[in-house]
């Protein structure tokens, strides 16, 4: 291992921190199995639909052991076995190790889960590019700079506090998204709370008296005839500041625009029409270029584009999508999609409520991204000794 050893640290190998555990277990027919997630995301129970082979040898794993995947070493498949998985089993492809008193388990997991660590040691892996493995002997031979145990604990405590803050922001985001999902259908079909007492049944369900149901084609003007796709090679020669949109958002930048107004884009093709892993309907404003994978709409004045986008995002488009290998929502089908049309003032009120929730989600998302960047910097600085922490040499961190 290259580099100068930080003062007070020692150059060692992982075999000074880990001892392989090979407690005999069951066979593939009866073993209660566990597995390791990629990129340091933890250890979890594995539930196979089909039992394993009676000839496959399993080993019993214990709570607090370090475990990794020989095949996915280069993808950061490391973890500490939690108490609830004590006694579960894995094959030799997922070796487990008792952590010796020289290492703090949390510090060790932070150290090995850094891409800088597992990618740098990829040359030790055996096999082809698609199936490179690293054996326990090779893992244990890897060198590292080891801080004193109290310093390890202080480093782990600092990183854990950042992780706790990151988890807190994720919980707020998840909770706000659940609130939004719970409110969305009511807001879009029943209006603002307390505003309506009389409702009528329509093809999209109950809506307030005074609302209408119209198709997208009746309230939106299609501008699809103005779309122009540009090859990636041509885009590379015309880089600029104008966003180039595809089915789910910006995919590139160009130096000219086809549109320069507020418009609604709706994905025309791709699996995302059904899986909804990213937005399919979104509003854009200002100079833009749109390819032929997104429908382009202008409001005819009876509906706010934000309201239309929220409605489309809340609905399953399966009845209007054709194709399975390559799902497609053609223009004629999209024009038939029904939607509620409240008075414009009420549309604005509904959009304001949803926008407020979206703003809270984005604010927490920005906070999480900032914390992720802070953690990334701390991982590099604290785990390499570039930045040192103070601690009580009597084994109490300060």
Return per-residue pLDDT of the chain as tens, 398 residues.
667 889 999 999 999 999 999 999 998 888 889 999 998 889 999 987 777 788 889 999 999 999 999 989 888 899 999 999 999 999 999 999 999 999 999 999 999 998 888 887 765 555 544 556 889 999 999 999 999 999 999 999 999 999 999 999 999 999 998 998 888 889 999 999 889 999 999 999 999 999 999 999 999 999 999 999 999 888 988 889 999 999 999 999 999 999 999 999 999 999 999 998 889 999 999 999 999 999 999 999 999 999 999 999 999 999 999 987 889 999 999 999 999 999 999 999 999 999 999 999 999 999 999 999 999 999 999 999 999 988 666 544 43
Q: Indicate the DSSP class of residue 183.
A: H
Residue 398: per-residue pLDDT: 38
User: CA-to-CA distance for 269 and 248, rounded, in angstroms?
Assistant: 10
pTM of the model as a whole? 0.77
To the nearest 10 degrees (0 to 180), the angle between helices 149-190 and 105-112 is: 70
Phi, psi of 97, rounded to the nearest 5 degrees:
-140, 140
- Helices and strands (DSSP H and E) totals, the chain: 10, 25
322 and 188 Cβ atoms separated by less than 8 Å = no
To the nearest 10 degrees (0 to 180), the angle between helices 344-384 and 305-314 is: 70
Distance of CA 356 to the CA centre of its chain: 23
Residue 397: per-residue pLDDT: 42
Pairing assessment for the beta strands 242-245 and 287-290 based on DSSP bridges: parallel
User: CA-to-CA distance for 1 and 391, rounded, in angstroms?
Assistant: 26
Residue 381: per-residue pLDDT: 93
The residue among 69, 42, 80, 90 whose CA lies nearest residue 132 is 69
17 and 100 Cβ atoms separated by less than 8 Å = yes
User: CA-to-CA distance for 61 and 24, rounded, in angstroms?
Assistant: 9
Which residues, 6 or more positions from 5, have their beta carbon under 8 angstroms from its beta carbon?
Answer: 11, 145
């Amino acid at each position: 291992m290259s580099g100068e050893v930080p003062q007070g640290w020692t150059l060692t190998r992982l075999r000074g921190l880990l001892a392989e555990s090979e407690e005999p277990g069951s066979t593939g027919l009866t073993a209660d199995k566990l597995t390791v997630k990629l990129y340091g995301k933890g250890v979890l129970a594995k539930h196979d639909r089909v039992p394993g082979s009676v000839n496959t040898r399993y080993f019993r794993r214990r709570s607090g052991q370090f475990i990794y995947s020989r095949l996915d070493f280069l993808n950061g498949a490391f973890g500490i076995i939690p108490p609830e998985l004590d006694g579960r089993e894995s094959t030799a492809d997922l070796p487990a190790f008792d952590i010796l008193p020289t290492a703090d388990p949390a510090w060790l997991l932070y150290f090995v889960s850094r891409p800088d660590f597992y990618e740098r040691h990829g040359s030790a892996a055996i096999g082809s590019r698609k199936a490179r493995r690293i054996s326990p002997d090779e893992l244990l031979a890897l060198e590292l700079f080891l801080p004193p145990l109290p310093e390890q604990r202080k480093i782990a405590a600092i990183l854990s506090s950042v992780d706790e803050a990151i988890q807190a922001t994720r919980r707020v985001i998840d909770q706000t998204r659940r609130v939004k999902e719970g409110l969305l259908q009511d807001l879009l079909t029943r209006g603002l709370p307390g505003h309506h007492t009389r409702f009528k049944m329509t093809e999209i369900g109950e809506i307030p008296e005074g609302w209408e149901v119209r198709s997208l084609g009746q309230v939106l003007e299609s501008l699809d005839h103005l779309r122009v796709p540009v090859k990636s090679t041509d885009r590379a020669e015309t880089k600029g500041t104008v966003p180039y949109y595809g089915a789910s958002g910006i995919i590139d930048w160009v130096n000219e625009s086809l549109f320069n107004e507020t418009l609604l884009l709706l994905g025309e093709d791709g699996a995302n029409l059904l899986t909804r892993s990213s937005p399919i309907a979104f509003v854009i404003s200002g100079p833009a270029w749109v390819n032929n994978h997104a429908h382009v709409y202008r409001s005819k004045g009876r509906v706010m584009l934000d309201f239309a986008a929220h409605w489309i995002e809340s609905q399953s488009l399966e009845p209007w999508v054709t194709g399975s290998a390559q799902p497609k929502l053609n223009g004629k089908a999209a024009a038939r999609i029904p939607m509620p049309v409240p008075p414009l003032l009420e549309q604005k009120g509904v959009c304001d409520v949803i926008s407020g929730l979206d703003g809270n989600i984005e604010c927490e998302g920005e906070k999480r991204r900032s914390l992720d960047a802070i953690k990334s910097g701390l991982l590099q600085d604290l785990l390499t000794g570039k930045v040192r922490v103070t601690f009580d040499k009597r084994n109490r961190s300060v």
